[in-house]
Structures are given as C-alpha cells and as structure tokens.
Amino acid sequence: MKVLKFGGTSVGTAERMRAVAGLIQAPTGQRIVVLSAMSGTTNALVNIAKLLYEGDTRAGTLQIEVLRQHYHIVTKELLPDEDTVAEGLKLVDESFKSIFNLTRQPLGAAGEKVILAQGELLSTRLFHLYLTRVRGERAVLLPALEFMRLDQNEEPDAAYIREHLAAQLDQYPEEQLFITQGYICRNVQGHIDNLKRGGSDYSASLIGAAAGAEEIQIWTDIDGLHNNDPRVVEDTYPIRELSFDEAAELAYFGAKILHPSSVLPAREHGIPVRLLNTMQPEAPGTLISAHTGEEAIKAVAAKDGLTAIRIKSSRMLLAYGFLRSIFDVFEKFRTPIDMITTSEVAVSLTIDDASRLPEILEELRSFGTVEVDHDLTIICLVGNLVQEQHGAAGQVFDTLRNVPLRMISYGGSPNNISILINTADKRRTLLALNEGLFRRATAAL
C-alpha cells in the first residue's frame, strides 16, 4: 500500500487534476490518494464562515454564490460532455446547498467546521467522477469522515482510525485505487472537524500509519524540502535526505511544505515519506526516513508569532521543584512550550498559542517578576550536529553577529539549534544564514 497526497495547487485547476490522474498511475499495487481542497477554496470558505459568524449574511451569501459559480466553471472545464457535466454540477450543488443551509441561523463553531469541510469534499468528488466516468478507471471514494477521528484531547485517535479505515478497505478487497479527503475528520462527539490548516499532510501520514503503508508521498508545488525558506530567500535548493527527527523539527518550526505534526505518525511506524513536485514529477525531491546524512547544517526554518515569557525569582536559586511549578501552570492551561532557557535566577520560555496568556501570567506572578515580549520568531537550524568538531554552532553565531539574539537553545537534541529573534529581523537573519552557511558551503564544493 502507498499513500499519495496532493496539495491545493496540485489539484488547483481542471488541468492540474488531469495531471494528477496521470501521476497516480505510476506506482503499482494498492494506493490511497489523499486530496486537499483546490487552492484558494479553504481561504474562501474561511472568509465565508467569518462573514456569517459576524452576522453579515448578505456578504456571506454573495461569496458563497461566487465560489459556487467558480466550481461550475471548473466542472465544465474538467468534464467533457453534457451528461458528466450534469453529474458534476449535481455534486457541486449538494455541497453548496449544505453551506447555504447554514446561512439561515447564526453560525457557531460546529457550522463553521461543516463549511470548511466542503473544500475537500468537492475536490475528491469531482476528481473521482473524472477518474471513473471520463477515464473509465476503477477507483473507490473513501469517506474520511467514516474513519478519521479526534479523541477527547482533540488529537487524532490512532486506534479508531486504524480500525475504521481497515473496515472501509475490507469492503473492497479487489480494488487497487482509493481516493479520500485530507484535512477533514470528526471530533470525539462525532461532529465534523478538521486537522487545522495544512492538515492534509497530517491526514496522509495518519492514513499511512493506519494502513501500514510502505511509503507516503506528499506531492506539492516545489521539488522537496528546501534548505531555507523559498518565500524569503532566492537561491534555496532541495535537500535530498532528511531523518524523521530533522524533518519533524523543520515542519514544526515553520517549513510550510509540511504540516507541523505530519512527520510524527510516519516516524512512529518507520514509514518513509517522499516529498515530490507535481509540476516536475521526475525531480528526486526529498526522502524522509530513519537515515540521516553527514552534513552539519542542512536546513533553516522560521516560525513567527511567538511570545516570550521571562520569570525572575530569587526563590529559584539552589531550589528544586521550581521548574515543575512553572510547567504545571502551562499544563493547567494546556499551552505547549516551544523553547526554554534557564539561569540561576530566571527562566525564559516561548509559547506559540497565546490564547490563555492572561491566566498564565496571573499565576506566574506568584513566583516572581514576569516580563512578556511579543512578535518574536524562532529560527530553527537542523542537521547532524552531534559532532561539535564541525564547529557548527560557532559558524552560526559568527554569521549572526549583527542580529540581536533574544534566546539560544543548543544541545536539547543532537540535530537542532534554535534561536529566538525579533520578527522584524527575520528576513535579514535568514539571508545572513544563507550567505554564511549555505553559499559558503556550496562555493567550497
């Protein structure tokens, strides 16, 4: 079994969908194809839900109609004759009917999730129709809402997913090709939910783990995971091989090509993940596996929107149990800590999710003085940093001698150095690292 996931751009037009139909023919054996919504759709649905939530039903309804018309055009471009177009338009209008129905009453969180789910339902239904009715292929449309589920902690429920996916697949022992939705799932109450933005990668990895797949392929619009953020730096290049740990760190710390949690299920089951480019299918892309290469620093990623908290207390000096009391506060408010550094009298840490910040600060003030900084960015450098003889850390700090560094974390894992900077300095930091670490390295080859 192989899992092949195609992202929004890869299924973004009728032409791209046709190309995907060709690409999924190459691997032999059983395949589960996971699709995102067509590019732009989830953003449009988020906007519609926002308008309805704010009570602007008029603008909301107008935007729904604009999107429906767009899907009518796509359907006519994708399908060749009147009969299949009529079938396609019927599928499209079913999805839009469920959105229009939600304009009748004030929109709540549950209704919003139903709206957001329509993107992946639309793309998979249209693609499946095209494959089976136009290309005459055998393919089964698997409903993700029947097997993809969150537990009471809002985390994917691996046991449930394994059992229910197997039950779905067992109904079709003769079939080789399955199509399903990324991103969407049900929560513990059985209501429609999702795996957060970019979640189709996570779906693919969860499905791969649940089905015991031999490989997970993530097809996107770039030829693999690059050594630096291609949205900021010009001359980046794809990294051929990454270990699970390296890829997990880069995904979590801002490499947008992968959803932050998407490497974890694959790592747990030792399933290789290949990042491939739909626009350039012959490019080798990136292979993520248990194996790691020799390079000292392989890649850099940046994660914005961080908040730093510094707690200063003389009670910390020579005391034990102090850190635990601090961690208890974050556990109580279910807020993960990303980075932490300590001295004898102070602890600095960063959080990504500041939604419970006021309550967290109030409790922390009972330990000492508390300072907060916003608009911070973590720069994460990943590679094989076990052997300090590479002098990697020294090279990094030399490169960044003109950038104010707010926190540094080194040694927590053998493959990562993290640095906290002001977001205003992000661009020049990424450019400086490119110049100092990668340009110099490629020039020496």
Question: Can you give the binding site for ligand ASP, defined by CB under 6 A?
Answer: 7-8, 36-37, 42, 119, 182-183, 197-200
Closest distance between ligand ADP and the C-beta of residue 101, in Å?
28
Q: Nearest residue to ligand ADP, using CB?
A: 7
DSSP string, 22-58: HHTTSS-S-EEEEE-PPTTHHHHHHHHHHHHHTT-HH
Q: What angle do CA 419, 424, 428 make, to 5 degrees?
A: 70
Beta strands in 76-172 (DSSP E): 140-142
Q: Contact with ligand ADP (CB under 6 A): which of 125, 226, 310, 426? A: 226
Q: Which does 221 bind (CB under 5 to 8 A by kind): Mg ion, ligand ADP, ligand ASP, none?
A: ligand ADP
Decide whether 38 or 264 has the Cβ nearer to ligand ADP.
38
Q: Which does 119 bind (CB under 5 to 8 A by kind): Mg ion, ligand ADP, ligand ASP, none?
A: ligand ASP
Closest distance between ligand ADP and the C-beta of residue 268, in Å?
22
C-alpha to C-alpha distance for 417 and 429, rounded to whole angstroms: 14
Angle between helices 57-78 and 14-23 (to 10 degrees): 50
Closest CA to 301 of 195, 417, 187: 417
Residue 247 binds to ligand ADP (criterion: CB under 6 A): no
Closest CA to 350 of 316, 378, 321, 369: 378
Q: Which does 199 bind (CB under 5 to 8 A by kind): ligand ADP, Mg ion, ligand ASP, none?
A: ligand ASP
Q: Which does 229 bind (CB under 5 to 8 A by kind): Mg ion, ligand ASP, ligand ADP, none?
A: ligand ADP
The encoded tokens of residue 87 equal 């079938």
Decide whether 225 or 403 has the Cβ nearer to ligand ADP.
225
For residues 285, 289, 295, 298, the Cα torsion angle rounded to the nearest 10 degrees is 60
Closest distance between ligand ASP and the C-beta of residue 202, in Å?
8
C-alpha to C-alpha distance for 170 and 301, rounded to whole angstroms: 41
Residue 75 binds to ligand ADP (criterion: CB under 6 A): no
Q: Which residues of 105-140 are buried (b: 16+ CB within 10 A; e: fewer)?
A: eebeeebbbbbbbbbbbbbbbbbbbbbbbbeeeebb
Task: Please say whether the beta carbons of 278 and 219 come within 8 A.
Answer: yes
Cα Rg, the chain, nearest whole Å: 24
The encoded tokens of residue 20 equal 């995907």
Residue 436 binds to Mg ion (criterion: CB under 5 A): no
Residue 249 binds to ligand ADP (criterion: CB under 6 A): no
Closest distance between ligand ASP and the C-beta of residue 61, in Å?
22
Residue 182 binds to ligand ADP (criterion: CB under 6 A): no
Instruction: Name residue 102's amino acid.
Output: L
Which residues lie below 8 Å from residue 201, measured CB to CB, with a gap of 6+?
5, 7, 182, 218, 258, 259, 262
C-alpha to C-alpha distance for 437 and 192, rounded to whole angstroms: 45
Q: Contact with ligand ADP (CB under 6 A): which of 198, 199, 208, 436? A: 198
C-alpha to C-alpha distance for 265 and 296, rounded to whole angstroms: 26
Give the per-residue contact string, 33-52, with ligand ADP (x = CB under 6 A; - = no).
---x----------------
Residue 199 binds to Mg ion (criterion: CB under 5 A): no
Residue 198 binds to Mg ion (criterion: CB under 5 A): yes
Closest distance between ligand ADP and the C-beta of residue 17, in Å?
14
List the alpha helices (DSSP H) in 54-108: 57-78, 82-101
Candidates 61-69, 222-230, 326-334, 436-444; binding stretch for ligand ADP (CB under 6 A): 222-230
Residue 277 binds to ligand ADP (criterion: CB under 6 A): no
Give the per-residue contact string, 8-37, with ligand ADP (x = CB under 6 A; - = no).
xxx-------------------------x-
Closest distance between ligand ASP and the C-beta of residue 193, in Å?
13
Q: Which does 164 bind (CB under 5 to 8 A by kind): ligand ADP, ligand ASP, Mg ion, none?
A: none
DSSP string, 250-271: HHHTT-TTS-TTTHHHHHHHT-
Q: Nearest residue to Mg ion, using CB?
A: 198
- Positions in the binding site for Mg ion (CB under 5 A): 7, 198
- Positions in the binding site for ligand ADP (CB under 6 A): 7-10, 36, 198, 220-222, 225-226, 229-231, 255-257, 301
